[in-house]
Structure 1
Amino acid sequence: MDVAALYTFAWQHAHRVPEPLQRAAATVAADLTWWRHGAGVRRLEANYARVRPELDARALRRLSREGMRRYLRYFREAFTLQGADPDQIAARVRVEGEENVRPVVEAGGSVVMALSHCGNWDLAGAWATPHLAPVLTVAERLEPAALFTEFVAFRRSIGIDVLALGDDGVFRDLVRGAEDGPRLLPLLADRDLTARGVEVDLCGHRARVAAGPAALALATGAPLLPVGIFHERLHGERRRRAGSAWGTVIRFLPAVPVPAVEDRGEQIARLTQAWVSVLGEFLVERTADWHMLQKVFVDDLDPERYARTKARAGEA
């Protein structure tokens, strides 16, 4: 199967399918995937169980069903986003906490944002570039290479500039981007994809997340904001203008304070824990919007592989 060709076809043609039919197809696909209860769904439920330990097995299954529906909704919206006009994008997005970010960018500064895999971050970025400041981010390099090329082209078509994780000079380019403000630098950081992550407490459990947001904020002096993104149902006039039954809420939370310690490694660790603590509260509130079908908690990782990861990072 040519995955790149399938994704390209979806990006080019999905927006031509009537929205009610899109919704129905995505819901059926999500429910079928949930019903099969494969490895991804089981991992989603395991992650939800750590965030929401008060739920029994039945409630957890209901929550994972809603989580899968929102996960497939994200893909449906992403595939059709290129067909949305600026007025539709503006109608689909509602912002909370704008006062935490707008004064900085209006003064010419940049903002580093720590994101989780929640809601529709592509729609959030498509809204942010024309309404706040240009968006520069980092994405995992996908395979095959043609798929990543199409993915980058898609992101750039909606106003999001993308650097490839693992390429030489990525951090340097992020620093330069921040210094050439105003600019928003959102980084999906609730899962460490390198050997340089930080072990933190997330909802009472040890987890390993990316160090990038904290390191970039310290290197540039830009404020570090945790950002929560989640879906909401639309009604009435706003639904008509959006051309969609669902919208996205971007919650800009207050910047986390820089810890008053001299050691840079300790600063990164404490600053990372600060935004993760805020993220944990958001995940408890909006658990079904968390599209985390991979292992993120330390107790779920292979002990030997994790020991090697920590050794490569120079940790005890």
Structure 2
Amino acid sequence: MSAMKDRLTDSLYGLGWATVKKLPEPVAAGLGRRIADTAWKRRGKSVLRLESNLARVVPDATPARLAELSQAGMRSYMRYWMESFRLPTWAKERVDNGFDIKDVHYLKDGLASGRGVILALPHLANWDLAGVWVTRSLGVPFTTVAERLKPETLYDRFVAYRESLGMEVLPHTGGSAFGTLARRLRAGGLICLVADRDLSASGIEVDFFGETARMPAGPAMLAQQTGALLLPVTLWYDETPVMKGRIHPPVDVPESGTRAEKTSVMTQALADAFATGIADHPEDWHMLQRLWLKDLEERVPLDEGRAPRDEERPLGDERAPLREGRAPLGEERQP
């Protein structure tokens, strides 16, 4: 039964890439809205979890307002998928005209300095589109990390897709990703990590909209070890086909404190930047999973002296569709 489900999942994604990218853009956009509205009306676990998360972001929202936001959120979520299925067909001009980002000088100046740059993003709008803009419009390659998920064929499909867009994708398997990312940064390169949700047992506790959440330590640790510039990025959609974004001021390494203390301070600074963008555009935050510690099931702590498993290593989350609940209309995945 599991093998059959895996084959079905892979087939559905394959159908999406093969079919949606051939549709005229207005047709694909309309299809995405219809799928989103159908999912929203079903009131499944993912929609209810999205509303629960949004209730923390917009604490004074009425039930009607939360329902309105969750419907807009599902439409934004499906817009991500429709765009992602079609990105391989977009010409450079379409990419240039499809993304407008503020304060890009932080990124350009950081790369020009030769010190390496880490872009850390939350699950806002379309990470893949921002990545394509970096590789095609700026002409800058970058490296990211993908967990090796089941089915293996779907993982391979996503890696091939992102590599076709100019991204270097490192597998989590084997524990070598952190070292490779550090080498890329020391060589003056660029890495990008989606970093608002910890998938490990070793994340950093942060205050996030007034409650405790856990976020990955990887971005802060890499910045400390390599001297790279750490830049938070937030994205959002508006009423036009253009996605917008902002590169926030650098998160500096504190001058004093232990490594753990510095990592905590820096990760909190990332969380604060993410919260600013999410509060301004809550409907574009695609968090359909449990995030705050109050909502998470208890996890078994690491055995004393045992090396962390690959999934417990402190790297960012990268929008893998199954582990993150990114499967369209999928049920919520437990962390």
Where 1:91 maps in the other structure, the secondary structure is helix
Pair 1:250–1:106, CA change in 2 (3 A): same
Aligned-partner Cα distance in 1 for 2:174–2:68: 40
In the TM superposition, residue 231 of structure 1 has moved relative to its aligned partner by: 1.4
Where 1:298 maps in the other structure, the secondary structure is coil
Which residue in 1 is equivalent to 2:321?
none
CA contact (8 A) 2:47 2:70 kept: yes
Task: Flag structure 1 segments of 5+ consecutive residues without an equivalent.
Answer: 235-245
TM-score by length of 2: 0.85
Which residue in 1 is equivalent to 2:28?
22
Which residue in 2 is equivalent to 1:151?
158
Aligned-partner Cα distance in 2 for 1:124–1:310: 39
CA contact (8 A) 1:96 1:251 kept: yes
**What percentage of aligned pairs have identical amino acids?**
39
CA contact (8 A) 1:95 1:250 kept: yes
CA contact (8 A) 2:122 2:234 kept: yes
The partner residue of 1:308 within 301, 322, 325 is 301
More helix by share: 1
The partner residue of 1:229 within 235, 239, 248 is 235
Mapping for residues 1-316 of structure 1, pairs under 5 Å: 1=5, 2=7, 3-132=9-138, 133-181=140-188, 183-234=189-240, 246-302=241-297, 304-305=298-299, 308=301
Cα offsets for 1:209-244 (capped at 9, x unmatched): 11111111111111111100111333xxxxxxxxxx
Task: Flag structure 2 segments of 5+ consecutive residues without an equivalent.
Answer: 309-335
Of 279-288 and 2-11, deviating more is: 2-11
Of 256-265 and 151-160, deviating more is: 256-265
Amino acid at match of 1:145: E
Pair 1:273–1:309, CA change in 2 (3 A): farther
Pair 1:310–1:284, CA change in 2 (3 A): farther
Which residue in 2 is equivalent to 1:239?
none
Where 1:130 maps in the other structure, the secondary structure is helix
CA contact (8 A) 1:225 1:254 kept: yes
Aligned-partner Cα distance in 2 for 1:275–1:12: 37
> Aligned residues, how many?
300
TM-score by length of 1: 0.90
Aligned-partner Cα distance in 2 for 1:277–1:64: 23
CA contact (8 A) 2:223 2:253 kept: no
In the TM superposition, residue 107 of structure 1 has moved relative to its aligned partner by: 3.0
Where 2:168 maps in the other structure, the secondary structure is strand
In the TM superposition, residue 18 of structure 1 has moved relative to its aligned partner by: 1.4
Amino acid at match of 2:274: L
Where 1:54 maps in the other structure, the secondary structure is coil
Pair 1:131–1:105, CA change in 2 (3 A): farther
In the TM superposition, residue 248 of structure 1 has moved relative to its aligned partner by: 1.5
Which residue in 1 is equivalent to 2:330?
none
Cα offsets for 1:56-91 (capped at 9, x unmatched): 111000000000000000000000100111111111
Aligned-partner Cα distance in 2 for 1:167–1:39: 33
Q: Aligned-pair RMSD on alpha carbons? A: 1.9
Aligned-partner Cα distance in 2 for 1:106–1:78: 30
Of 130-139 and 197-206, deviating more is: 130-139
In the TM superposition, residue 278 of structure 1 has moved relative to its aligned partner by: 1.4
Which residue in 2 is equivalent to 1:243?
none
Pair 1:22–1:130, CA change in 2 (3 A): closer
Could you list the structure 1 runs, at least 4 aligned residues long, displaced by more than 4 angstroms after superposition. Answer: 309-313
CA contact (8 A) 2:106 2:247 kept: yes
Aligned-partner Cα distance in 2 for 1:147–1:167: 19
CA contact (8 A) 2:92 2:137 kept: no
In the TM superposition, residue 166 of structure 1 has moved relative to its aligned partner by: 4.1
CA contact (8 A) 1:195 1:310 kept: no
Aligned-partner Cα distance in 2 for 1:41–1:309: 32
Which residue in 2 is equivalent to 1:241?
none
Aligned-partner Cα distance in 2 for 1:309–1:27: 43
